[in-house]
């Protein structure tokens, strides 16, 4: 019980504005921030002493100690409940900064056994969907340990991932063997290319392909894992059963029929006996589907497959033409092949002419030739339709995004011209389109994402924006669930060089995270750059935090070059911070630090201005006194004492007038100026009022 309460104290932050309600201890990783007491000096004190606590009284004393330390630390925070002690020097202004560093250091010094995970590690846990159907089965993981992936692939008892690279490489080999059979069986069956001399070479090639077929049917396909109601099944008995249930298994078995044994009766010239090998067509399709999935530009695969079909049909046509010519008699009439030149090339040429209806075809002279030509032309129509239709589809799909971009750009240019917009503005719009296109390659990202289920959408967004988000300090310091909650609310926006992202004095509606590029925080007069923010930096949050008197932008922020940012709306931020108090604290501390720095900077600038004016007026006074003294040196009736008094009064009059002049220029008297300065300095030193986030 006692240690339970101790644990509880160690793991929970003591927020003065929040009434403490006893909750069960939360797991360590959910507290992984430098804002939790785990990393505070209070926590260290507590952990050092807790081993000595044995009685209830000691425990209570320790709790009091801890609370006093925590309250001291919190006095300098924005969310301090009570007025702070007096600040003795300007160094106090940077105290928030030091405090942040201390907290970070104390985190590293913390004796906690588990260091907080870095964001990249956290992201692995955030993305819940498996990245590939590689089995999650622990048994498989265990079996794979110590073996190379290749040996695992060769192991006849290991299941195979159907989307793994090894399997796709294997499919490539089977597809190659299939293509060899598909082309060579027809070629050797019709053309006289298989002679008794080269038959052994052909047969070696044939049987090597047959070995690949056998290995595929006996050892690879039966080990393929499959999805059963969303679970990957990698049990060898089950995968084997699954393969045998498929029609593919039957075709694969028929394709292996050893009809070649009939060579004994018919001779090795009867290559047509290998025709069943062409039934392994499903593996050919499977390979193309797999390539379509894994390649960055699947259009290449699709075009390749279409061309394969077209050439294959023309090849079959060429084989049929030669067979027909051979049957009628080579060179016996004007239509048949005249047995001149390379037989295959001449016949392929004829078949291409017929299929594409390009060029003059020889006139058929008998019924059988007419029938052949009719069939060839019909096939030609089909080939043409297939070729044009498929290629058009593929190209249209490949360039659809670019076409849409062109249309949008043209539409916007026409619209701006019709409204007679200034040319520079038109150029800026075009420039924005170009930049956005070059960055995102699409304008309808939300539409694509919206077609996915919520979890998948979130995982896709996390993956896409992973590089940028892993650099955001806020997400590093807070729990990973904050990132999960926010990632879908982030809206990508682009800015051109010099664009104002937020303007000082405007009402804040969004905060920003820099995805790429740089943004400059400008001083009040926009002449000085206060800070240059880079990739992963967050800005524009102060006016969203609901700080009394700071609901408008505190500074102007401009993009330096092209900048890609993520915008997060006030409502989305508030909704997230309602559930992530830790993130709210991080933002408040950062806001506190920035406000103090800005206030200190302004106070210093005013002081410098005032000092400069003072020295100018004193200089002027001295000159005037000297002039007067020289003018009135002849007037001996004045005593030395009288002159001094007059000079002093003149000097004070001049000072006063100088100050009132300054006041006139700036709409303030010197008194006002001094008072403002005092207030500013005071503000810079004293903590700002408690931030009230709506929903807190």
The correct pick among 530, 651, 674, 677 for binding ligand CMP (CB under 6 A) is 530
d(CA 385, CA 379): 10
Nearer to ligand CMP, 10 or 685 (CB): 685
33, 478 contact by CB (below 8 A): yes
d(CA 485, CA 579): 10
d(CA 457, CA 58): 53
Least distance to ligand CMP, CB of residue 513, Å: 11
Q: Quick count: other Cβ atoms within 10 Å of Cβ 513?
A: 26
Least distance to ligand CMP, CB of residue 485, Å: 21
The correct pick among 66, 302, 484, 553 for binding ligand CMP (CB under 6 A) is 553
337, 372 contact by CB (below 8 A): no
The correct pick among 40, 598, 680, 686 for binding ligand CMP (CB under 6 A) is 598
d(CA 489, CA 58): 49
Helix (H) or strand (E) holding 323, with range, is helix 299-328
The residue count for the chain: 696
d(CA 667, CA 230): 74
Least distance to ligand CMP, CB of residue 78, Å: 14
Alpha carbon 631 to chain centroid, angstroms? 80
Nearer to ligand CMP, 480 or 521 (CB): 521
With CB under 6 A as the contact rule, which of the stretches 214-222, 539-547, 633-641, 648-656 interacts with ligand CMP?
A: 539-547
Nearer to ligand CMP, 171 or 544 (CB): 544
370-376 — which CB contacts under 8 Å span 24+ positions? Answer: 372/320, 372/321, 372/324, 376/317, 376/320, 376/321, 376/351
Query: Footprint of ligand CMP on residues 12-31 (CB under 6 A)?
Result: none
Nearer to ligand CMP, 83 or 549 (CB): 549
d(CA 594, CA 62): 35
- 536 makes contact with ligand CMP (CB under 6 A): no
d(CA 622, CA 613): 15
State whether residue 522 is helix, strand or coil. Answer: strand
The secondary structure of 140-155 as a DSSP string is HHHHHTTS-HHHHHH-
- 588 makes contact with ligand CMP (CB under 6 A): no
The correct pick among 210, 541, 592, 673 for binding ligand CMP (CB under 6 A) is 541
d(CA 439, CA 565): 11
With CB under 6 A as the contact rule, which of the stretches 101-109, 161-169, 215-223, 535-543 interacts with ligand CMP?
A: 535-543
- 93 makes contact with ligand CMP (CB under 6 A): no
- 520 makes contact with ligand CMP (CB under 6 A): no
- 302 makes contact with ligand CMP (CB under 6 A): no
Nearer to ligand CMP, 530 or 625 (CB): 530
d(CA 355, CA 320): 13
Nearer to ligand CMP, 505 or 642 (CB): 505
- 9 makes contact with ligand CMP (CB under 6 A): no
CA distances for 144 relative to 83, 163, 223, 238, 551, angstroms:
63, 17, 15, 19, 58
Least distance to ligand CMP, CB of residue 605, Å: 13
With CB under 6 A as the contact rule, which of the stretches 80-88, 204-212, 284-292, 549-557 interacts with ligand CMP?
A: 549-557
- 539 makes contact with ligand CMP (CB under 6 A): yes
The correct pick among 116, 364, 380, 540 for binding ligand CMP (CB under 6 A) is 540
- 119 makes contact with ligand CMP (CB under 6 A): no
- Helices vs strands, H then E, count in the chain: 25, 10
What would the two tokens of residue 113 be? 């056994």
Q: What is the size of the binding site for ligand CMP (CB under 6 A)?
A: 17
Least distance to ligand CMP, CB of residue 458, Å: 26
Nearer to ligand CMP, 564 or 617 (CB): 564
Helix (H) or strand (E) holding 515, with range, is strand 510-516
With CB under 6 A as the contact rule, which of the stretches 241-249, 360-368, 417-425, 537-545 interacts with ligand CMP?
A: 537-545
What would the two tokens of residue 594 be? 């920035």
- 494 makes contact with ligand CMP (CB under 6 A): no
Nearer to ligand CMP, 322 or 512 (CB): 512
The correct pick among 256, 520, 542, 576 for binding ligand CMP (CB under 6 A) is 542
- Cα–Cα nearest to 545, from 577, 517, 568: 577
With CB under 6 A as the contact rule, which of the stretches 463-471, 541-549, 665-673, 675-683 interacts with ligand CMP?
A: 541-549
- 594 makes contact with ligand CMP (CB under 6 A): yes
What would the two tokens of residue 6 be? 């101790």
Alpha carbon 336 to chain centroid, angstroms? 63
With CB under 6 A as the contact rule, which of the stretches 187-195, 271-279, 304-312, 547-555 interacts with ligand CMP?
A: 547-555
Query: Footprint of ligand CMP on residues 554-583 (CB under 6 A)?
Result: 554-555, 557
- 508 makes contact with ligand CMP (CB under 6 A): yes
Which DSSP category does 233 fall into? E
What would the two tokens of residue 542 be? 């102060």
3-state secondary structure 600-662: HHHHHHHHHHHHHHHHHHHHHHHHHHHHHHHHHHHCCCCCHHHHHHHHHHHHHHHHHHHHHHH
Least distance to ligand CMP, CB of residue 550, Å: 7
With CB under 6 A as the contact rule, which of the stretches 139-147, 306-314, 538-546, 567-575 interacts with ligand CMP?
A: 538-546
Nearer to ligand CMP, 244 or 509 (CB): 509
Binding site for ligand CMP (CB under 6 A): 502, 508, 521, 530-531, 539-543, 553-555, 557, 594, 597-598
């Amino acid at each position: 019980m006692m240690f339970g309460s101790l644990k509880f104290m160690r793991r929970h932050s003591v927020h003065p504005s929040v009434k403490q309600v006893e909750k069960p201890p939360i797991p360590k990783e959910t507290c992984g921030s430098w804002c939790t007491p785990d990393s505070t000096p209070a926590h260290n004190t507590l952990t050092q002493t807790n081993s000595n606590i044995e009685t209830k009284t000691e425990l209570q004393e320790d709790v009091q100690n801890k609370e006093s330390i925590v309250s001291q630390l919190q006095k300098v925070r924005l969310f301090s409940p009570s007025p702070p002690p007096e600040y003795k020097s300007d160094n106090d202004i940077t105290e928030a900064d030091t405090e942040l560093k201390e907290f970070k250091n104390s985190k590293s010094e913390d004796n906690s056994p588990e260091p907080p995970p870095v964001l990249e590690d956290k992201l692995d846990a955030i993305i819940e969907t498996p990245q590939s159907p590689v089995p999650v089965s622990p048994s498989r993981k265990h079996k794979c340990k110590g073996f190379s992936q290749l040996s695992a692939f060769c192991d006849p008892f290991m299941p195979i991932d159907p989307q793994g690279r090894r399997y796709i490489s294997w499919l490539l080999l089977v597809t190659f063997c299939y293509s060899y059979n598909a082309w060579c069986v027809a070629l050797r069956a019709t053309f006289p290319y298989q002679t008794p001399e080269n038959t052994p070479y052909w047969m070696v090639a044939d049987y090597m392909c047959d070995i690949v077929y056998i290995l595929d049917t006996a050892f690879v396909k039966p080990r393929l894992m499959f999805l059963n109601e969303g679970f990957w099944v990698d049990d060898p008995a089950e995968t084997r059963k699954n393969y045998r249930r498929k029609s593919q298994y039957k075709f694969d078995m028929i394709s292996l029929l050893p009809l070649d044994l009939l060579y004994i009766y018919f001779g090795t010239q009867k290559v047509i006996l290998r025709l069943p090998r062409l039934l392994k067509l499903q593996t050919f399709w499977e390979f193309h589907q797999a390539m379509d999935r894994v390649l960055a530009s699947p259009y290449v695969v699709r075009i390749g497959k279409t061309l394969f079909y077209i050439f294959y049909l023309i090849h079959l046509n060429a084989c049929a033409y030669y067979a027909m010519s051979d049957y009628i008699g080579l060179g016996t009439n004007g239509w048949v092949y005249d047995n001149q030149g390379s037989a295959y090339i001449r016949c392929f040429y004829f078949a291409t002419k017929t299929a594409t209806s390009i060029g003059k075809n020889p006139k058929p002279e008998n019924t059988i030739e007419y029938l052949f030509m009719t069939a060839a032309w019909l096939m030609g129509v089909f080939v043409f339709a297939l070729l044009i239709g498929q290629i058009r589809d593929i190209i249209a799909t490949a360039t659809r995004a670019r076409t849409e971009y062109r249309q949008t750009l043209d539409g916007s240019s026409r619209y701006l011209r019709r409204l007679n917009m200034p040319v520079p503005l038109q150029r800026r719009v075009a420039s924005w389109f170009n930049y956005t296109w070059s960055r995102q390659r699409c304008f309808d990202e939300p539409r694509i994402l919206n077609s996915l289920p919520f979890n998948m959408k979130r995982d896709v967004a996390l993956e896409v924006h992973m590089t940028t988000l892993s650099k955001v300090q806020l997400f590093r310091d807070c729990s990973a669930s904050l990132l999960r909650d926010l990632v879908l609310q982030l809206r990508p926006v682009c800015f051109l060089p010099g664009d104002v992202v937020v303007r000082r004095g405007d009402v804040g509606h969004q905060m920003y995270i820099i995805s790429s590029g740089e943004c400059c925080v400008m001083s009040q007069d926009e002449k000085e750059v206060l800070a240059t923010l880079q990739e992963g930096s967050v800005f524009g949050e102060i006016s969203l935090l609901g700080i009394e008197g700071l609901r408008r932008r505190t500074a102007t922020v401009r993009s330096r070059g092209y900048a890609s940012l993520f915008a997060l709306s006030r409502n989305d931020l508030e909704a997230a911070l309602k559930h992530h108090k830790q993130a709210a604290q991080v933002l408040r501390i950062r806001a506190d630090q920035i406000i103090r720095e800005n206030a200190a900077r302004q106070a210093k600038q005013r002081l410098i201005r005032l000092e400069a004016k003072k020295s100018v007026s004193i200089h002027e006074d001295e000159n005037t006194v000297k002039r007067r003294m020289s003018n009135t040196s002849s007037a001996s009736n004045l005593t030395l004492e009288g002159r001094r008094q007059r000079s002093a009064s003149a000097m004070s009059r001049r000072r006063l007038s100088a100050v009132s002049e300054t006041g006139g220029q700036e709409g303030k008297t010197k008194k006002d100026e001094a008072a403002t300065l005092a207030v500013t300095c005071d503000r810079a030193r004293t903590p700002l009022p408690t931030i009230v986030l709506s929903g807190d």
